[in-house]
Amino acid sequence: MKTQQGGGASYGGGATAAAESAIAAYKKGTGTEVVLYEKVSIGTGAQAGNPWLQELPDSVTKATWDNYAFISMAKLKS
């Protein structure tokens, strides 16, 4: 990405080949991956006592109370 004088950015495209080779060289795991993330509405927990924020649905999954796990059917059957 190249920065212009006005502070904007333009796409250079030169790093695409390097990114493709890095992805191809990455070793794929065979186990299960757990991804933890910070909830958008409560953040780091500073506003955890606010019931309005606790019941605010996630903007992507629409889940309100989010102690759930997404597991594919193939993984579930194995």
In a domain, 20, yes or no: no
Task: Provide the pLDDT for residue 69.
Answer: 74
**Contact present, 44 and 38 (Cβ < 8 Å):** yes
**Structural domain harbouring 72:** 33-78
7 occurs within a structural domain: no
Kindly state whether residue 55 falls inside one of the protein's structural domains: yes
Band of pLDDT at residue 8, cut at 50, 70 and 90: low
Residue 54 domain flag:
yes
Cα–Cα distance measured from residue 3 to residue 10, given in angstroms and rounded to the nearest whole number: 7
Query: Does 63 reside within a domain?
Result: yes
Has residue 42 been placed in a domain? yes
**1 contacts 10 by C-beta, under 8 angstroms:** yes
pLDDT at 4: 53
- The verdict on residue 53 lying in a domain is yes
Question: How much is the pTM?
Answer: 0.36
Whether residue 4 lies inside any domain: the answer is no
Domain count, the chain: 1
What token pair was written down for 8? 């904007």
Q: What is the pLDDT of residues 29-70, one digit of tens each?
A: 777 777 777 777 777 888 888 888 888 887 877 877 766 677
Each residue's pLDDT tens digit, 13-28? 777 888 888 888 877 7
User: What pLDDT is stored for residue 77 in this prediction?
Assistant: 85
Query: Tell me, what's the pLDDT at 26?
Result: 79
